[in-house]
Chain A
Amino acid sequence: MTRSTFSSRPPAIGLIALFTCVGLASLAASQELRVGVQSHVRALDVQAETSNAGAQFLHNIYDTLLEIDTTAQQLKFKPGLAVSWQRVAGDTLEIKLRPNVKFHDGSVMTADDVAFSLNRVFKIALPAFRSSNGRFFYNFDRAEAVDASTVRVVAKKPDPLMEILLAARNAGVTSKAHVEHVGFDQSGLAPIGTGPYRVASFKPNQEVILERFDDFWGEKAPLQRIRYVRIPEMAPRITALVNGDVDFIVQIPPDQEHLLRNRPNIKLVGTAWPMFHVYVLNMSVPPLDNPKIRRALNLAIDRDALVKALWDGKAVVPKSHQFPGTASEIPGVNLIRFDPAEAQKLLREAGYSGAPITLNFQQHYYTYGNLAAQAVADMWKDVGINVKLQVIEGFGQDPKTLMTRDWSNPLYYPDLLGAFDTHWTKSSWVSRDKFFLPELAPEWEKLYSVIRFSLDPNERRAAHKRLLEVGETELVPWVLLYQPYESFAMNDRVTWSIPHNVRPYVLSFRAGEISVRK
């Protein structure tokens, strides 16, 4: 829906209420969904864009070989651009491609397009692909076009995660000819995929308009148009929904929900994300190079108090680095507690002399991040730690002096390693910058290798349970705060629920994932 122009609008202000009603009705009539998002992206390259903001768009534009059924509670693959796939060896998948799949520019997808797209992230040709490679694809060696309808994907080592990683959106398929013709920079601004929506217009960091792609190979998209507009501030975003300027808004923290609850025509859908807000502790820098001090920092945090005070009790206090209720959870692993007396004892044993420990955080980056940092600093002071708060921006600080930094660990795919391999592996920045020194626990590498590469599920789970213990009690490279809770709010004509088994912040608007009542 677009508002009528000034000249065509009746001057009588009393009629504006009528216009509001007309506006609501037109949501269903025009099948345009207007989405107010907090953050946007500067390019829509499916291989390069790994941010939470990008997840809002890519799912609807690009297809992967294997798709995850986002409506099923348990992990369930379904054919995407592949009609079938088969492990021909522990390290090799042979994939039969769906015939006659069209790109948004009308050209037909080939095996070369698939191999080209995957090889972009299997090998890091540009720095822009490093994030995708490090999070998902570092164990993939190559993708080869065997014939016109077959692609073979080969891993460096036998890999239990090949299928699930190929279903990650960063393994989406784009047009080789298009990218090679216009170049990397332009292809991210005028992206070509095969998904149910094509990009009709894109203003980086401001607005994306998607339109239904009529030549889509599967069930046609339920919406004619989706317009994502960036509304960075919370109050204008909520107002825009209340006012009928948009139909759907994202990222509403608990303390703002009262503005929308019980309003006619509006409903809220919320969740505690499978994601942790985290402080990374730099294991290389004194005094944090002492594991007793890192453990003390971990034990000194009253997470229940944080969740109650900041999140209205809706965030979830972690018990270990895994998410309750997910398919991969190992039950009964209870490793995180609040024990200030034990923290003080550990500090004494470590001979802590009051050397300053800096808690670094990014200003207004994570929801309630500023408040959490202040509260945690006070909790650390309570056990005798000399804390300094310091705001940082992005990356680029000297890792030889930076003591901590805030981070998030989302579950990128439903597996034991879904929130782990993307963050706490050798290809991650925490290893690169020597924040994380897993070699200090001799067990770690062996355990990790079993979880990452064993094809025996039971062996993987047993190793993972032990790895969680080593991480939380011996290495302690992280301090997990909580699983944040956020809501989406929407016009009550919209039926949508948070998708299952995909990374947080995916806005799933494909067939079967959203409907709009007339």
Chain B
Amino acid sequence: MLRYLAGKGFRSVLTVFAVLLITFVAARISGNPFQFLYDDGLTQEEQAALDQEFGLDRPWPAQFVSYLGQIARGNFGRSIAQRRPVVHLYAEAIGPTLRLAALSFLATVAIGLPLGLTAALARHSALGVAAMGVAFVGYAVPHFLLAIILILIFSFYLNWLPSIGSETWWHFIMPTITLSAGLIAAIARYLRGEMLGVLSQDFVRTARAKGLPESMVIGKHAVRNALIPVITVLGLKFNGLVSGSLIVETVFSFQGVGQIFIGSVQLRDYPVLQFGVIAFALTVVVVNFLVDALYAVVDPRVRRSG
């Protein structure tokens, strides 16, 4: 088990390092950040002075090594555009983003699992078909389109829900729906598929033959086994939650880290961009690592094979 987790951990660290290296180089290939920061451009002397101030006058490998050293000391640098610590920028904006992610994840679990179960258990009824219909729509409609449709209906025409900001829980309704719709659909579809597979397995037939009540057969034997691959899918889909939040925050003028991150891309604010990428990559890697670990816990075959 420990060897299995150590292997996964090592690969996770490598992944984050690779992502950081690619981002570091790609950001610098895109151009110099000071070209955007001054309305009338800069003289060569001013440009050189600013480059020196932020260490951008050194060769890229030297900059990268220096940056790694900084990170090791817990210093992620300061924003070129706002000239204050990068960590402060993200810390100020993380609250609404975490709330949105948590709500979306809860909605995914609370709606996606029952929807998938319903679709599997009542697959020949109108209810089951309707559940899958809802899931397919959620899966097919992209975030930005769903967001605009929701805003159009519930804000522009009905005036029921606020269309911008993140001040109250009302502000979270449409962003949460937008962000979780695709995930709910994915989870529901996977669970349905797994359930149908499990329900045709011998051990389920055996359980029924033993005379166990149907609730026990479904609850104790079928669902438990069907959930194992769904956990993996939940972990993988968490990536969608992270990337989707960037789009959702923009459309709803949500004051979260997505806005900071997108702003840093637009302004080539290297330190802010790099921290954002590391944070997002770490989140994804950690979640995947946890999923792997959880998978090993719930399925002993993984432990033994790892």
A residues sitting closer than 8 Å to B (CB atoms) are 2-7, 9, 13, 16-17, 20, 36, 42-43, 50-51, 127-128, 130-131, 134-135, 185-186, 189, 203-207, 229-233, 235-236, 238-240, 242-246, 393-396, 428-429, 432-433
Contact = CB atoms under 8 A, between A and B. Distances in A.
Given A189-B84, A230-B253, A395-B41, A245 B163 contact: yes
A134 B161 CA distance: 47
Interface of B: 31-32, 34-36, 38-43, 46, 49-50, 81-84, 92, 148, 151-152, 155-156, 158-165, 167-171, 250-253, 255, 259, 263
23 contacts: A3-B167, A3-B168, A3-B171, A7-B169, A42-B82, A51-B39, A127-B46, A130-B42, A130-B46, A134-B40, A204-B82, A206-B255, A229-B253, A230-B253, A235-B148, A236-B251, A239-B156, A239-B163, A242-B156, A243-B159, A244-B159, A245-B162, A396-B34
Contacts of B39: 50-51, 131
Of the candidates B32, B40, B167, the one having the most CB atoms from chain A within 10 angstroms of its own CB is B40
Nearest to B46: A127
Contacts of B34: 396
Contact of A243 (B38, B43, B49, B162): B162
Contacts of B164: 36, 229, 231, 236, 240, 245-246
A3 to B, nearest CB: 5
A239 B159 CA distance: 9
Contacts of A393: 31, 35-36
A128 B42 CA distance: 9
A120 to B, nearest CB: 16
A235 B168 contact: no
A233 B163 CA distance: 12
A396 B170 contact: no
Given A203-B92, A236-B251, A246-B164, A9 B38 contact: no
A395 B46 contact: no
B305 to A, nearest CB: 47
Contacts of A36: 164
A243 B163 contact: yes
Given A50-B40, A236-B252, 5 more contacts: A51-B39, A127-B46, A203-B92, A240-B253, A395-B36
Contacts of B155: 239-240, 242-243, 245
Contacts of B253: 229-233, 236, 240
A210 B31 CA distance: 35
Given A231-B164, A396-B32, A43 B82 contact: yes
Nearest to B41: A395
Given A235-B151, A393-B35, A429 B40 contact: yes
A185 B81 CA distance: 10
Contact of B40 (A3, A16, A206, A428): A428
Contact of A232 (B165, B168, B250): B250
Given A128-B38, A185-B83, A393-B35, A3 B163 contact: no
Contacts of A243: 155-156, 159, 161-163
- Among B42, B43, B158, B163, max chain A CB count under 10 A is at B163
Question: 10 smallest A-B Cβ distances: which pairs?
Answer: A6-B169, A396-B35, A395-B41, A185-B83, A127-B46, A394-B36, A394-B35, A243-B155, A239-B163, A429-B40
A236 B163 contact: yes
Contacts of A20: 159
B216 to A, nearest CB: 37
Contacts of A429: 40-41
B292 to A, nearest CB: 36
A403 B49 CA distance: 28
Contacts of A3: 162, 167-168, 170-171
B218 to A, nearest CB: 33
Given A231-B164, A236-B151, A239-B151, A432 B43 contact: yes
A62 B149 CA distance: 41
Contacts of A239: 151-152, 155-156, 163
A127 B165 contact: no
Nearest to A40: B263
B126 to A, nearest CB: 26
Nearest to A227: B165
A395 B31 contact: no
B170 to A, nearest CB: 6
Tell which of B41, B81, B161 has the most Cβ of chain A within 10 Å.
Answer: B41
B165 A229 contact: yes
A42 B252 CA distance: 20
A1 B170 CA distance: 15
A141 B205 CA distance: 94
Contacts of A51: 39
Contacts of B42: 127, 130, 395
A127 B50 contact: yes
Q: Which of B156, B161, B251 has the most CB of A within 10 A?
A: B156
A14 to B, nearest CB: 10
Contacts of A238: 156
A233 B81 contact: no
Contacts of B82: 42-43, 189, 204-205
A147 B13 CA distance: 65
B32 A5 contact: no
B170 A6 contact: yes
A141 to B, nearest CB: 21
A203 B41 CA distance: 25
Contact of A131 (B40, B49, B92): B40
B41 A433 contact: yes
Most chain B beta-carbon contacts within 10 A, residue among A7, A135, A245, A246: A245
Nearest to B255: A206
Nearest to A422: B40
Given A206-B255, A229-B164, A242 B151 contact: no
A233 B46 contact: no
From A9, A243, A244, name the one whose CB has the most chain B CB atoms within 10 angstroms.
A243
B259 A396 contact: no
B81 A42 contact: yes
Contact of B170 (A9, A17, A135, A433): A9
